[in-house]
Amino acid sequence: MDVLYFAWVRERIGLPKERIETQAETVADLVAELCAREDRYAAAFADLSALRVAVDQKLTGFDAPLEGAREVAFFPPMTGG
């Protein structure tokens, strides 16, 4: 699965995109896996209320299932316009 990071999430984790092999069933499970890996992930995901997630380019919640997902993206609240 492709995992993408944007804005300060990208900066904290140190890369825009990576390929991750995972059995995580939900977005929250994936976040827990990543946090367990390295401190920079734990730092980026420390406050989930400050983060948004999209699965296959659609905004969703951290309880969203990952079955069949090809792309997950994490980013801060959007500031367009």
Partner 1 sequence: MRIVVQDAPFDFGAEAAAFAADRRDMGAIVTFTGVVRDSDAGDLQAMEIEHYPGMTEAALADIATQARTRWSLGDVLVIHRFGRMTPGEPIMMVATAAPHRKDAFEAAEFLMDYLKSRAPFWKKEHRAGQADWVAAKDEDEDALTRW
Residues lying near partner 1 in the complex (CB under 8 A): 4, 6-8, 10, 54, 57-59, 73, 75-81
How many other CB atoms are found less than 10 A from the CB of residue 17?
12
Q: Least distance from C-beta 27 to partner 1, angstroms?
A: 15
Q: Nearer to partner 1 by C-beta: 6 or 62?
A: 6
How far apart CA 20 and CA 53 sit, in angstroms, is: 16
Q: Nearer to partner 1 by C-beta: 11 or 25?
A: 11
Q: Least distance from C-beta 11 to partner 1, angstroms?
A: 8
Query: Taking Cα atoms as reference points, which of 51, 53, 49, 47 lies closest to residue 24?
Result: 53
- In degrees, rounded to 5, the angle at the alpha carbon of residue 61 between the alpha carbons of residues 79 and 51 is 40
Q: Least distance from C-beta 50 to partner 1, angstroms?
A: 9
